[in-house]
Amino acid sequence: MPRFWAAVLEFGSGVLGRQRMYYQECGPEFGLSPASTELPCVECAPVNSAVLVLNQNYEPLNICNVRRAFVLVDRGKAEVLEHGQEGIRTASRIMPRPSVIKLGYLVKRPRPQVRLSRREIFLRDDYTCQYCGAKTRELTLDHVVPKHRGGGHSWDNLVSACRPCNHRKGSKALEETRMRLIKAPRRPQPAQYFLWIQRLNGGGYDAWLKFLPQVDFSTVS
């Protein structure tokens, strides 16, 4: 176990210099000092709370827990950019909780893309007919602009449709029917963005917002 985390959990004896430095930099936010032994009234979070991990170029990379974030910071592999409002309670102290950390090195990886498939279309549309709004597992794929009229097999031309709506529309163009789309189809965001949105919907992660420029915040309640 890294020495910093051992100090944070107070498994060892004494307070290490690195812990003192962390208190000096971050402690005033909670009214703490390296020598403080009082526990102020601060809402505390568990050590498995989520922490947003940014690449060296500030690109959102992953989500880890507070324990892992402390390890990365202690080993000099990351720095804390944002702290959460809650603290991390130890036996006699409350540590500021990291909310966003940035790696000190660049992790090279291909940009994730969602593969166009029947299943991914249904997932994007939340298993909901895009014409009548019926939520069902008995869905079909519909080309908004029919293929024989030049419509492509693409994210922005494919939607989920229940069987009655698909039969009603047939091979007609949308403007030839009295049907309307609930929302315009488009390429979905990679799965990791859905994970971040889920976290944001849970609340308590407002510090993440400015680091997630590609997230569609209309989906965040």
Domain extent listing, the chain: 3-103, 118-176
Q: Which residue has the higher pLDDT, 37 or 138?
A: 138
CA 144 to CA 158: how far, in whole Å?
A: 6
What integer pLDDT is reported at residue 7 of this predicted model?
43
What integer pLDDT is reported at residue 123 of this predicted model?
84
Q: Among 88, 117, 115, 79, which residue's Cα sits nearest to residue 190?
A: 115
What integer pLDDT is reported at residue 199 of this predicted model?
60
CATH fold group of domain 118-176: DNA Binding (I), subunit A (1.10.30)
What integer pLDDT is reported at residue 206 of this predicted model?
75
Statement: residue 186 has pLDDT above 70: yes
Q: Tell whether pTM > 0.85.
A: no
Confidence of residue 61 (pLDDT cuts 50, 70, 90): confident
The pLDDT > 70 percentage for the chain reads: 67
Statement: residue 60 has pLDDT above 90: no
CA 91 to CA 81: how far, in whole Å?
A: 26
9: its two tokens? 């959990």
Q: Which residues of 72-84 are buried (b: 16+ CB within 10 A; e: fewer)?
A: bbbeeebebbbbb
CA 112 to CA 92: how far, in whole Å?
A: 44
65: its two tokens? 């827990």
